[in-house]
Structure 1
C-alpha cells in the first residue's frame, strides 16, 4: 500500500544565514529558524501524520523536536536522510563551491560523497517506508540534497538540473511512495 510522504526542509540555521554549506556538520538553528520550526509544527500538526522522520544531523532533529513538541508522534532519526557530505568543503562558504555543482552528481566532493550517493541512500530509505507505513502519511525533515533525490526518484526530474537550479522554498512537497 502506498505511503503519502510530505517533505519539509529543516528550519533556517546560523550557517544558512551566513552563506555556509554545513554538509555533515551538525549545524544549529538560528533564532529565526526556531520560529520557522514552530510554524512547521503549526502547519502540520493537524495533517494526519503517522510519524515524523528526520536526518540524524542536529539541525533536522532540532527542527522536528521544536515542531512536534508536546505531541505523541514518533520522531525517528535516520542517517540515510543526511545532507550530502561535502568532505573538505563541509563548513565552507557556499561561494567556495565549484560551479556547476552538478559535476558532483557522480564525482564525489573531495573526501566526501557524490549526489548520486545521496540518491542511493534516499532510495534505500524509501524502500522501507511502504512496508512500515503503507496507507499512512509520513513527514520527512531533511536537507536540499534529499529533496533533489526525492524529486529525481519519484518524479523523474533530472538530478543534474535540480542541483544547479536556484532553491525556492515552499511549505512542503508531497509525494506518493509505492
Structure 2
C-alpha cells in the first residue's frame, strides 16, 4: 500500500503574501524544518519514506533539503504541486497589497 505524507514548509516571512513568490524560510522556519527532518529520521521505521517530492519554490525546497539530508534521499522537484498562484500579490508586502487592492476588503 502506498502512503503519502504531506508536510508544510517551515515558516517564511508572514509580512509578505506567499503564493508563487521566491520567499525563503526565516531562521525560525529553518529550525522547524530541521526538527521535522530529525523527527522523520528518528521515526522512519513507522513511515518508511522512499521518496521526497517538493514544489520548486524556495521555501519548500529548503524544507525538503533538510529532510533529504537526514534521510539520504534525493528530492524530486515538481512545479505542478505549487500552491495557488496569487498573481501580482505573490511576494508583495501585506500592507502594500491591502492598500493596492483595497476594494477586495469589502
Q: Does 1:39 align with 2:9?
A: no
Distance in 2, matches of 1:77 and 1:99, equals 35
Q: 5+ residue gaps in structure 2?
A: none
Aligned to 1:81: 81
After TM superposition, the structure 1 = structure 2 runs for residues 1-16 of structure 1, keeping only pairs within 5 Å, are 2-13=1-12, 15-16=13-14
After TM superposition, the structure 1 = structure 2 runs for residues 79-158 of structure 1, keeping only pairs within 5 Å, are 79-92=79-92, 93=94, 96=98, 98=104
* Superposed CA RMSD: 2.1
Normalising by the residue count of structure 2, what TM-score does the alignment of the two structures yield?
0.78
Aligned length: 96
Task: Compare the two structures and name the one with the higher helix fraction.
Answer: 2
Cα offset, 1:54, TM superposition = 0.6
Normalising by the residue count of structure 1, what TM-score does the alignment of the two structures yield?
0.49
Distance in 1, matches of 2:70 and 2:10, equals 19
Task: Compare the two structures and name the one with the higher strand fraction.
Answer: 1
Distance in 1, matches of 2:105 and 2:2, equals 36
Q: Describe the shift of the 1:73–1:44 C-alpha distance in structure 2 as closer, same or farther (beyond 3 A).
A: same
Cα offset, 1:70, TM superposition = 4.7
Q: 5+ residue gaps in structure 1?
A: 101-178
Distance in 1, matches of 2:81 and 2:4, equals 13
Cα offset, 1:42, TM superposition = 1.3
Q: Is the 8 A contact 1:39 1:67 kept in 2?
A: no
Q: Does 1:53 align with 2:53?
A: yes
Cα offset, 1:89, TM superposition = 1.2
Distance in 2, matches of 1:72 and 1:43, equals 14
Aligned to 1:136: none
SS at 2:64 equivalent = helix
Cα offset, 1:25, TM superposition = 1.3
